[in-house]
Structure 1
Amino acid sequence: MAILQAFRVTLFYLLLSSSSFFWCLISLVVAPFLPFRQRYRFVVQAWCSCAVWLARVIVGIRYEVRGVENIPERPCVILANHQSTWETFFLSSYFEPLSQVVKRELLRVPFFGWGMALLKPIAIDRSNPKAALKQLAKQGDERLKQGAWVLVFPEGTRIPPGQIGKFSRGGTSLAVNAGLPVLPIAHNAGEFWPKAGWGKRSGTIQVIIGAPMYAEGEGPRAIAELNERAFQWVCQQQTELRGEEPQLSRLGEPA
């Protein structure tokens, strides 16, 4: 069984990497001529849906979503815990159009980074946290006004299952200043798609979408309270998913 699973994972990565290369080539030719929403659907939503489909069909990584009724009609700031690459693919295909906070270095990756640059990501310099926060505030507000969801992983990096990273206040600050709620999302993707290595385990990822959370007031205190509320909600969902309370991780440099 281990050999068969290793073969499936290898096949998955071969198909994923080859589809990424060819799709990026096509996108670089076609996408510049499309309006932003159609561009997003063509470049991101289609390919990310393909990645999630490949993971399900080849590796056996399925998913269930609870709380769909909590998604507001108007796009807002999504705060999700970060355990693997899977949730990046899934959330990018599930919400559209979506602008994601990414490391600036990713835009320099040949083909993949060039295609990503067409999609209005918020590409921050993590070595300069103060500048990154200002950039998130400015560009995030622009994306929200353009009708795009803004995805923030407040832990700042992928955290192994059983742990949770401290939440930065960048996402909640953006939401409060824009007069919008945050939409909290919790999942256990890292149980089946680990942070380290190529190994994958078949099973069903649970994705839980919480009710939109609004700030109670304005200013730094309201931002801090909303951030803590979102953090505690994700902690509670992780406890229920795993059967034990997550430990605070020292990993991550949240923006």
Structure 2
Amino acid sequence: MMAARVVLFYLLLSASAGLWGLLMLIIAPLMPYRWRYHMIVNWWCRCAVWLTRTIVGIRYEVIGRDNIPDQPGVVLSNHQSTWETFFLQQVFLPQTQLIKKELLYVPFFGWAFALARPIAIDRSNARDSLKQLSKEGGERLAEGSWILVFPEGTRVLPGQPAKFSRGGAALACTNMAPVVPVAHNAGEFWPKAGWGKRPGTVTVMIGPPIYPKGPDPRSIVEVNRQAESWVNEALESMRNPPADAGAPMSNATA
């Protein structure tokens, strides 16, 4: 039964991405950037999260929404699955995401996604990628957009500690923007390998913002260390919840 639901989910997800991408290629170029972002990325990602919840039973709870500052900054999240790439789009708005450029080659949706101005990097060229993140990320922050970075660089299995590269922290420190650490356990329900899915509730934890003390290398190392440590502590708390975990800090469940 679950296998049939997963097949149906992927059929609907693929069809919606193709149709929505084709429609956006026609009308999005006529819109200002904020409207393009909301229509191309945010609205479709909401559809994807709804399909995930409705068809394969992956729900979510969010702890710490009140930690999100008014000033846009850099979101540093662990990366376990595809689910968080959809979900986090509807938490931090408007948003630019650091992605691998190959995603823009996906027919229709990838072409439309390019109109939302993601920071699309060539992961085989680390030096140029860092320069591109610094330049384009700084421009997006100045324009009032959040920057979503998965500093592990690739999806990591649940249970493994997060190890962050410093690119996202460097971007934040250079622009004196806050860093918001995010931890989740989506990989337990949407694994990084294979097509299988498991019903359940993803826990998303949003940490207190980390404010850089300066743009120097020491500040970058410290901000990155704080974000990585907070995420690992949050992941550990998800795996081993305290006895009084029934009292959530600040959450919204859907």
Matches within 5 A, 1:10-159: 10-159=7-156
Post-superposition Cα deviations, 1:115-164, rounded to whole Å, max 9, x if no partner, equal: 11101110111111011001000000000011111000000000010013
Deviation at 1:166, TM superposition (A): 1.9
Task: Give the total of aligned pairs.
Answer: 241
Aligned partner of 2:251 in structure 1 is none
SS of the residue corresponding to residue 96 of structure 2 reads strand
Aligned partner of 2:249 in structure 1 is none
Looking at structure 1, the residues matched to 112 and 171 of structure 2 have their Cα atoms a distance apart, in angstroms, of 26
Deviation at 1:81, TM superposition (A): 0.3
Aligned partner of 1:196 in structure 2 is 193
Q: With the length of structure 2 as denominator, give the TM-score of the two structures.
A: 0.93
Q: Which amino acid aligns with 1:51?
A: A
Query: Would the aligned equivalents of 1:44 and 1:93 in 2 still touch at CA under 8 Å?
Result: no
Query: Would the aligned equivalents of 2:18 and 2:107 in 1 still touch at CA under 8 Å?
Result: no
Q: Which amino acid aligns with 1:95?
A: F
Deviation at 1:96, TM superposition (A): 1.9
Q: Which amino acid aligns with 1:8?
A: R
SS of the residue corresponding to residue 163 of structure 1 reads coil
Query: Would the aligned equivalents of 2:190 and 2:196 in 1 still touch at CA under 8 Å?
Result: yes
Looking at structure 1, the residues matched to 137 and 240 of structure 2 have their Cα atoms a distance apart, in angstroms, of 35
Q: Which amino acid aligns with 1:53?
A: W
Q: CA RMSD in A?
A: 1.1
Q: Which amino acid aligns with 2:104?
A: L
Deviation at 1:97, TM superposition (A): 1.5
Aligned partner of 2:230 in structure 1 is 233
Deviation at 1:113, TM superposition (A): 1.6
Looking at structure 2, the residues matched to 117 and 124 of structure 1 have their Cα atoms a distance apart, in angstroms, of 12
Which residue, 167, 171, 180 being the options, matches 2:168?
171
Post-superposition Cα deviations, 1:189-212, rounded to whole Å, max 9, x if no partner, equal: 000000000100000000000010
Query: Would the aligned equivalents of 1:40 and 1:96 in 2 still touch at CA under 8 Å?
Result: no
Query: Would the aligned equivalents of 1:155 and 1:164 in 2 still touch at CA under 8 Å?
Result: no
Where in structure 2 are there 5+ consecutive unaligned residues? 242-254
Percent sequence identity is: 60
Query: Would the aligned equivalents of 2:180 and 2:206 in 1 still touch at CA under 8 Å?
Result: yes
Deviation at 1:57, TM superposition (A): 0.7
Looking at structure 2, the residues matched to 204 and 191 of structure 1 have their Cα atoms a distance apart, in angstroms, of 9
Where in structure 1 are there 5+ consecutive unaligned residues? 245-255
Q: Which amino acid aligns with 2:153?
A: G
Query: Would the aligned equivalents of 1:84 and 1:189 in 2 still touch at CA under 8 Å?
Result: yes
Q: Which amino acid aligns with 2:193?
A: A
Looking at structure 2, the residues matched to 37 and 216 of structure 1 have their Cα atoms a distance apart, in angstroms, of 30
Looking at structure 2, the residues matched to 210 and 109 of structure 1 have their Cα atoms a distance apart, in angstroms, of 33
Post-superposition Cα deviations, 1:150-190, rounded to whole Å, max 9, x if no partner, equal: 00000000001001342111101000111111000000000
SS of the residue corresponding to residue 80 of structure 2 reads coil
Post-superposition Cα deviations, 1:86-123, rounded to whole Å, max 9, x if no partner, equal: 00000112222111111112212221221111011101
Aligned partner of 2:4 in structure 1 is 7
Q: With the length of structure 1 as denominator, give the TM-score of the two structures.
A: 0.92
Post-superposition Cα deviations, 1:13-41, rounded to whole Å, max 9, x if no partner, equal: 11100001100000000110111111111
Looking at structure 1, the residues matched to 23 and 92 of structure 2 have their Cα atoms a distance apart, in angstroms, of 22
